[in-house]
Amino acid sequence: MNSATEYILWQLADTSFPTGGFAHSSGLESAWRHGLVRRENISDFCHDLIRQVSMQTAPFVAAASQTPTRIRSLDSLYHVMCTNHVARRASILQGSALLLAAQRAFGPGELKRLQEAHCICEFNGHFGPVFGAVCGLVTIEPLAAVRLLLFGTVRQTLSAAVRLGIVGSLESLPMLPAMTDLIDQAAAAALNRLPEHAAMPCPLLDICHGSHDRLYSRLFQS
């Protein structure tokens, strides 16, 4: 990875990069409200989330980063496989925001054409395929793209846990470094999984996520 690509990777990893992820908790809020997550087991929730994302979304990221031109077919397949209406809505919102931000940040060319195609509804714009395609078009390797996906997912979830008051900000700091080995293992495994073989190893997490809209009060969109 050359220095220019490395700087792009850092920019995509920056929490200020406007993809709207701060508005989502990946199902944590619902799981907490239903009593399935407590302060003591927030790490367990993150471990399950890593497995879920690595088997359900990461294969699409890997495939799209290897061949960005496949984004339309990959996006259609993800749309069919993502049956949870809350997760589907969040995925499209974040994917659309990412594509617009990436096009503005990294200039015209293929990203601009992709953004124009999305504007005329040639594809839905799910986060996984879009994230992979963006990484591929800016020459980020598939493994790095998947690791970034998983790292960002966990960081975003821990940030949500702090805002929900489940853990303190200082208490959450050592949790992410403690999960790096699991992230690396899950990322490596995701590269060997075809999008057609995507799976959901933690269905309870998906059920909680899908019930988010039924909460009496909500801080996050999903």
The tokens describing 51, both together, are 């497995």
φ/ψ (deg, to 5) at 17: -70, 120
Tell me yes or no: is domain 24-209 CATH 1.10.4190.10: yes
So what's the pLDDT on residue 83?
A: 86
CA distance 142 to 135: 8
What pTM value is reported for the model?
A: 0.94
What does the pLDDT profile of the chain (222 residues) look like in tens digits? 677 788 888 888 888 888 877 888 999 999 999 999 999 999 999 999 999 999 999 999 999 999 999 999 999 999 999 988 999 999 999 999 999 999 998 877 889 999 899 989 899 999 999 999 999 999 999 999 999 999 999 999 999 999 999 999 999 999 999 999 999 999 999 999 999 999 999 888 888 898 989 988 888 888
* In contact, 220 and 159? CB cutoff 8 Å: no
- The sign of the CA dihedral 209, 146, 134, 107 is positive
Q: How far is CA 122 from the centre of its chain?
A: 22
Whether 167 contacts 45, CB under 8 Å? no
Alpha helices in 82-121 (DSSP H): 85-106, 110-119
Kindly state the helix (H) or strand (E) to which residue 131 belongs, with its residue range: helix 127-137
Is the separation of the CB atoms in 55 and 198 below 8 Å? yes
188 in Cβ contact with 58 (< 8 Å): no
CB 126 within 8 A of CB 91: yes
What is the widest separation between alpha-carbon atoms in the chain?
A: 49
Contact (CB, 8 A) for 87 and 206:
yes
Which backbone phi and psi does 14 adopt, to 5 degrees? -70, 130
Please report, for the chain, the start and end positions of each structural domain, with discontinuous segments joined by +. 24-209
